[in-house]
Structure 1
Amino acid sequence: MTALMIQGAGSNVGKSLLVAGLCRAARRRGLSVAPFKPQNMSNNAAVTEDGGEIGRAQALQALACGLMPQTDMNPVLLKPETDVGAQVVVQGRRVATVKARDYAALKPGLMASVLESFGRLKAAHDLVIVEGAGSPAEVNLRAGDIANMGFARAADVPVILAGDIDRGGVIAQMVGTKAVLDPADAAMIAGFVINKFRGDVRLFDEGYALIAAQTGWRGYGVVPFFADAARLPAEDALDLPKAGGAGGFKVVCLALSRIANFDDLDPLGQEPGVALSMVAAGQPIPGDADLVILPGSKSTRGDLAFLRAQGWDIDLAAHVRRGGHVLGICGGYQMLGHVVRDPDGIEGPAGETPGLGLLDVTTLMTPDKRLTRTRATHAASGLDVEGYEIHIGRTEGPARARPFAFVDGQPEGAVSADGRITGSYLHGMFTSDAFRAAWLSALGAAPSQARYGATVEATLDALADHLEAHLDVGGLLALAR
């Protein structure tokens, strides 16, 4: 037993959750198991212990395996900065920012790093469960591929193809994938699973048999829709907008065009006293919001322009006049100041953009990127806060004399004189249960005993149970080589 790969008949078919569930199932069978995704595209990243970054989904999968996130689990991470360009992170470190057409030329040279990382994981564990990206049916991208069949062939890893029946057309997706694949690529596929079924699974018996007959692949089961997936950290911005809770304390988050690390919201969405919602483009900030969150962004100045185009700057000013609270995290913190300067064009065209002027600070973009897991002490309550920092830029100004927290005795973040505007670079702050409860209570939310980490662990166990009940998990694991 060495490795097994889950690829998808399309994007967002549930590959990440299938891998997480299989990882937890394998771990419960006594195996040392690790996740692996050769190439990922996401602005929702996790920071590893050694100061690198990987996709958030691989961090969740690592948790399912009982492991700390490692850069080898996702050796190539693409972080979109514009509609046509992305930052390229290799083995946890930023190496370039390229346009999509230029990445195609860069991609073949990355296979060595991918195989190197995969080899280290194989040597350290009984089993590696690999997640593909997008779909192998995108045969126009096959040349130089490192994410799907290019990797599977190079590493000799058998593939299970997953299809999403919730979207409709799953028979055509599966059969069509077989039809367009090169025969040598198609030979890597050892079977298929159908994901996200709603209703009586027996109603799909004929379709299931048809896929098997048309492709020659063995079916390993049909997975009913797993409703508790919303309790797990999401990676893809396609999962926005999201909402959670039905409490009396209303929290809204602005769905920025380059939103990053939005899983900061997940613990809030599980608070019984909180009603969390996203404000999408074209929608006003609700007048009855108690707290408005400006989340992280991959392009702070670009999203400041986007924010103003929606009229949210006017809505925020009105919200503050009404006595509402505002929290800016990372890029959102930078937006709260007077100005964001980028003289070297690190995030886009060189220049500067006026901020919202809600905090007496300014930000200067710098080439150095801060990547670190962080333990802090909340200044107001003295409670411990755990999280991570993943940003470029330095933020300074008089408001820093009223820090949000202290890290190694040094001030972090800033709070306005009236205490209603807060900015911090600390992602993941709300995973700290005691701090989250105290901070929300101070703002007027009902007290809570919610335990976010325990909820995630319980949900991973429930996901593994769900897969064990509906898939031939033993047969899938037996395919690994």
Structure 2
Amino acid sequence: MARALMIQGAGSDVGKSLIVAALARAATRRGYRVLPFKPQNMSNNAAVTIDGGEIGRAQALQAQAAGVEPHTDMNPVLLKPETDVGAQIIVQGRRVATLRARAYAAMKSSLMEPVLESFGRLKDRADLVLVEGAGSPAEVNLRSADIANMGFARKANVPVVLVGDIDRGGVIAQLIGIKAVLDADDAAMICGFVINKFRGDPTLFDNGYRLIEARTSWRGFGVLPYFARAGEFPAEDALGLVDARKVGKCKIAFLALSRIANFDDLDPLKLEPDVDLVMVRPGEAIPGDAKLVILPGSKSTRGDLTFLRAQGWDIDLLAHHRRGGHVLGVCGGYQMLGRSVADPTGIEGPAGETPGLGLLDVTTVMTPQKTLTRVAAVHTATDRPIEAYEIHIGHTDGPDRARPFALISSAPEGAVSSDGRVYGSYLHGLFASDNFRSAFLAQLDIPAADQQYRARVESALDALADHIDSHLDVNGLLALAR
């Protein structure tokens, strides 16, 4: 049976996901069979697994770092926020409910059983299981029903290393404060700490590092400088979605919807040197010189249609189209481009129907069945192959489906407007297909670089593993696992 080590954070977005990915690649290069695990994740960026379910995108990246296919056991509980107080609950890859926060809190303790069940199966298949916590163990007000941090670590007897983000400031107080507020038995699970995202001369933190060790009695495993290539990996959630502007010859804009989902679809475009990828934030206008506007996925299509109109983006989109501009809607964005979105049974919120943007002659009806599948498609306009995945609720149909965006085993997928400038598709991850991306951009007179997106991510994972091997005691960290 495998050994295990858990990486927890002094807060959210401190770099836990990338440190687990780095350790996974570093341990794999040492000859270990490594599997990643996160008991509970909250993210609208999801990946479809080899067993036909869904997990957080970060665990899929960690699986890639370990050289294995993602599996639902790697993230047995996934929360996908649909409103400020409610989320879709995914257990072992399948949607089981949509609950408000208080109802989920009452349900959470019952989820320890599937969490431990999935963890046990991973341990049977690996030499080393690397576990990622969620949020911070300092949230002691949530400890009684915790399945994501110390609740899991204690139940599964997994040693813990804490990660603190010095880039945010206050890292000394964060780590010493966690020791102060934790129950003594919880604190005893922590074997050490890592300082992450340091910029500048690390020797300037020597006194602070020694102070943390002295006040906590935890061993320090090193100070990790900021990793410059972190932006080449998909972000865990919308908190990590930043405007990565650069000088590019051609502008593509995307809308930062309130419930934006699977926005890693855009990552390959972000890395194209001649593409100026512009994130249109709430309250901002869509740039008038954009060649293409992308409506990304959404966890609440009707809610984001209302949000979109509140920003005035519906008016901007019509003006963009009148000027000869192109529009692409992916998944929820595709549904928004149609004439209407109906949710008769209230799957994504209150039952009802919302008018769409009317740029595609299709309508969508939300249905209880969720589509979760990997697909091989062919883009109809360029005949280029697309390796992608579908992860959506709802069925879309209408006259513009007679002009499909792509074909899947000769069956039509998506829709294209009669003028050929508005496209809708359920295919996530489409731009990671290099030949398709190049041909699609060429249709817009945008030059594409001769680069392989997946190879670039692999290169970044290798560089990340080299990075932690250079700055942390990786062998010491791996030796903690039990």
Q: TM-score, normalised by structure 2?
A: 0.99
The 3-state SS of whatever aligns with 1:288 is coil
Q: Deviations over 1:194-248 (max 9, x none)?
A: 0000000000000000000000000000000001000111121011232254221
Cα separation, 1, equivalents of 2:74 and 2:375: 21
Cα separation, 1, equivalents of 2:236 and 2:340: 30
Contact 1:245 1:270 survives alignment (8 Å)? no
Q: Deviations over 1:117-175 (max 9, x none)?
A: 00010110000000000000000000111000000000000000000000000000000
Deviation of the 1:401 alpha carbon = 0.5
Q: What are the residue-to-residue correspondences of 1:78-117 with 2, within 5 Å? A: 78-117=79-118
The 3-state SS of whatever aligns with 2:65 is helix
The 3-state SS of whatever aligns with 2:144 is coil
Q: What are the residue-to-residue correspondences of 1:12-51 with 2, within 5 Å? A: 12-51=13-52
Partner amino acid, structure 2, of 1:112: E
- 1:286 matched to 2:295? The reply is no
Deviation of the 1:444 alpha carbon = 1.1
Gaps of 5+ in 1: none
Cα separation, 1, equivalents of 2:112 and 2:133: 14
Partner residue, 2:413: 412
Partner amino acid, structure 2, of 1:404: F
Partner residue, 2:122: 121
Q: What are the residue-to-residue correspondences of 1:154-193 with 2, within 5 Å? A: 154-193=155-194
Partner residue, 2:4: 3
Partner amino acid, structure 2, of 1:258: R
Cα separation, 1, equivalents of 2:238 and 2:153: 27
Cα separation, 1, equivalents of 2:476 and 2:406: 50
Partner residue, 1:314: 315
Contact 2:235 2:241 survives alignment (8 Å)? no
Cα separation, 1, equivalents of 2:25 and 2:258: 34
Partner amino acid, structure 1, of 2:236: E
Cα separation, 2, equivalents of 1:79 and 1:330: 15
Partner amino acid, structure 1, of 2:39: P
Partner residue, 2:76: 75
Partner residue, 1:225: 226
Q: Number of aligned residue pairs: give it.
A: 481
Q: What are the residue-to-residue correspondences of 1:321-332 with 2, within 5 Å? A: 321-332=322-333
Partner amino acid, structure 2, of 1:32: R
Partner residue, 1:239: 240
Partner residue, 2:434: 433
Moved over 6 A (4+): none
- 1:421 matched to 2:422? The reply is yes
Contact 1:366 1:394 survives alignment (8 Å)? yes
- 1:270 matched to 2:271? The reply is yes
Deviation of the 1:97 alpha carbon = 0.9
Gaps of 5+ in 2: none
Cα separation, 2, equivalents of 1:50 and 1:22: 25
Partner residue, 1:205: 206
Mean CA deviation greater in 66-75 or 98-107: 98-107
Q: Deviations over 1:69-94 (max 9, x none)?
A: 10000000000111101111000001
The 3-state SS of whatever aligns with 1:314 is helix
Cα separation, 2, equivalents of 1:244 and 1:330: 25
Deviation of the 1:419 alpha carbon = 1.1
Cα separation, 1, equivalents of 2:110 and 2:240: 32
The 3-state SS of whatever aligns with 2:176 is helix
The 3-state SS of whatever aligns with 1:243 is coil
Partner residue, 1:367: 368
Cα separation, 2, equivalents of 1:447 and 1:333: 24
CA RMSD of aligned residues (A): 0.7
The 3-state SS of whatever aligns with 2:145 is coil
The 3-state SS of whatever aligns with 2:423 is strand
Q: Report the identity percentage.
A: 73
Cα separation, 2, equivalents of 1:450 and 1:321: 33
Q: What are the residue-to-residue correspondences of 1:449-464 with 2, within 5 Å? A: 449-464=450-465
Cα separation, 2, equivalents of 1:332 and 1:26: 39
Mean CA deviation greater in 455-464 or 438-447: 438-447
Contact 2:272 2:448 survives alignment (8 Å)? no
The 3-state SS of whatever aligns with 2:200 is coil
Partner amino acid, structure 2, of 1:193: V
Cα separation, 2, equivalents of 1:246 and 1:427: 26
Partner residue, 1:259: 260
Cα separation, 1, equivalents of 2:296 and 2:114: 32
Q: Deviations over 1:366-396 (max 9, x none)?
A: 0100000111011111111011000010000
Partner amino acid, structure 2, of 1:64: A
Partner residue, 1:147: 148
Partner residue, 1:395: 396
Cα separation, 1, equivalents of 2:88 and 2:248: 39
Cα separation, 1, equivalents of 2:118 and 2:83: 28
The 3-state SS of whatever aligns with 1:467 is helix
Q: TM-score, normalised by structure 1?
A: 0.99
Cα separation, 2, equivalents of 1:406 and 1:355: 25
Partner residue, 1:379: 380
The 3-state SS of whatever aligns with 1:97 is strand
Contact 1:270 1:450 survives alignment (8 Å)? no
Contact 2:153 2:159 survives alignment (8 Å)? yes
